[in-house]
Amino acid sequence: MVPNNSTRLGSFRRYPPRAARRKSRAASWLESFLWTVGCVALGYCAFLWGRAQYDQAQGNWIVDRYQFVDHRQPDVKVRPAAGSLVGRIEIPRLKYSAVIFEGIDDATLDRGVGHLAGTATPGELGNLVLAGHRDTFFRPLKKIREGDEIDVTGPDGVSRYRVEFTQIVAPEATEVLRSTGRATLTLITCYPFRFIGNAPDRFIVRGQKVDKEVESHENVSISGSRSGSGRRRL
């Protein structure tokens, strides 16, 4: 009698070897694991984005009402606590605005722009140093240019700075943090802006505080001289 090989071959095709079944289960488990990791990562990113939007909205609400001023001690300069509200930065030409918090750790920079502890606060004489991530709150800095005006709102009101220069430096170039003896503003972010991973350099924006009264007087004088000479105003 001839053995029924077709039956055995059919059984073989219908029931794959144990190693093949294990490989199939491993692939299925890996796919499920990767989907889970992806969903968790997206959820975490959505959480960070939502928290940042909430903190920015809350910060703007407080800054607009000046409720972060300690009215009980008007003559005492209180250094801001880590993570607390410092103020707001605005660049009118870029239509940019972001709330500033104390500290430059990752948790703070996920919420907004960070103020480097130990440097001048808004309105103080010295070097006001602010930092931000190049792919979030300081992304607009790639379009900044010399002469742009930057407004920083703090407990003492609004201080205006004018950009003197931009510069690309190494991460260890700490001289940009030193006080210049004037009221200056230094913005720091990683560079290049489109670099994937840890960027190798730092992009620096340096501005000098502008006396609004002097600026207003100069503008009146300049416009008057131009109108008198018949030159077109730009």
Positions marked active-site:
133, 190
Whether cis (ω within 30° of 0) applies to the bond prior to 80 is no
| Distance between CA atoms of residues 140 and 163, nearest Å | 14
Contacts of 136 (CB under 8 A, 6+ apart): 52, 109, 110
Alpha helices in the chain (DSSP H): 5-14, 18-65, 106-109, 212-229
CA gap 119, 126 in Å, rounded: 7
Chain centroid to CA 108: 10
SS3 65: helix
